[in-house]
């Protein structure tokens, strides 16, 4: 069975410091597991070509699962 793939990236499209367009720096994939579901999270990390030390992550993905973890935060997937 093929797991669904969901792409995540920052909501920003330009650097907040200089206004330059953000470019894909690195793409990471990982399987996210919850009590009832599994999917592959494709995380597109972005960065500014001028401020290379600054990496922009997806706030949405970070709210669903902590960096380096495999299991989703249940409160984010099943809001009450």
Average of per-residue pLDDT across 4-26? 95
Residue 79 lies in a domain: no
Residue 78 lies in a domain: no
Range of the domain at 62: 5-73
Distance CA 21, CA 8 (A): 17
Average of per-residue pLDDT across 17-24? 94
Residue 80 lies in a domain: no
What total of structural domains would you count in the chain?
A: 1
Question: Per residue in 53-71, pLDDT tens?
Answer: 899 999 999 988 887 788 8
Assess contact for 65 and 29: CB atoms under 8 A.
Answer: no
DSSP class of residue 37 equals -
Tell me the pTM: 0.79
Residue 41 lies in a domain: yes
The region of weakest confidence among 12-21, 47-56, 60-69 is: 60-69
Assess contact for 29 and 52: CB atoms under 8 A.
Answer: no
Model confidence at 52: pLDDT above 70:
yes
Distance CA 39, CA 25 (A): 23
């Amino acid at each position: 069975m093929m797991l669904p793939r969901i792409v995540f990236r920052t909501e920003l499209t330009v650097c907040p410091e200089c206004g330059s367009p953000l470019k894909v720096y690195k793409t990471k994939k990982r399987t996210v597991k919850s009590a009832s579901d599994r999917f592959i999270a494709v995380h597109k990390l972005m960065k500014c070509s001028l401020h290379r030390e600054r990496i922009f992550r997806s706030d949405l993905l970070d709210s669903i699962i902590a960096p380096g973890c495999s299991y989703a935060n249940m409160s984010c997937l099943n809001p009450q």
